[in-house]
Amino acid sequence: MRLFISLLLLIHGFVAAYCGMLLMLDVSGSNIGLQSSYLQHSPFSDYYIPGFILFTVLGLGSIAASVCGLYRMRHYSYCIMVTGLGIIIWIITQILMTRMLFFMQFIIGAIGFLAMLCGFALLKKEKAIKQTL
């Protein structure tokens, strides 16, 4: 389970970082198929700030949580859970601000939910092991 969620977060992190970088480089969003009209109900006039958040928080954050999980760094289960929560918050915020639903939001939301569940399960497993020692 640890390896599965760590690799899933690693893939998510690289994709989020790449897309965030593309949004910062072309703030119109057209290079990844986004329309400026999607931002009409948001506080943003272009995609630079969403791209920056996507790159740093979700991209680099997911990669960092993945590395923590892969190397079993201290408190890695918390890192995985917090990253999952961040992904879910991102998707909910995105839906509220754009007032639109896309298929990929369900997939990315599921990754966030899985990360939270796996992180919690890994935390319970760690605590159970510590109690037996």
Separation of alpha carbons 13 and 127, rounded Å:
27
Separation of alpha carbons 105 and 20, rounded Å:
15
Tens of pLDDT, residue by residue over 91-103, are 999 999 999 999 9
Is residue 76 within 8 A of residue 68, CB to CB? The reply is yes
Tens of pLDDT, residue by residue over 49-93, are 999 999 999 999 999 999 999 999 999 999 999 999 999 999 999
Tens of pLDDT, residue by residue over 117-129, are 999 999 999 888 8
Supply the pTM of this predicted model: 0.93
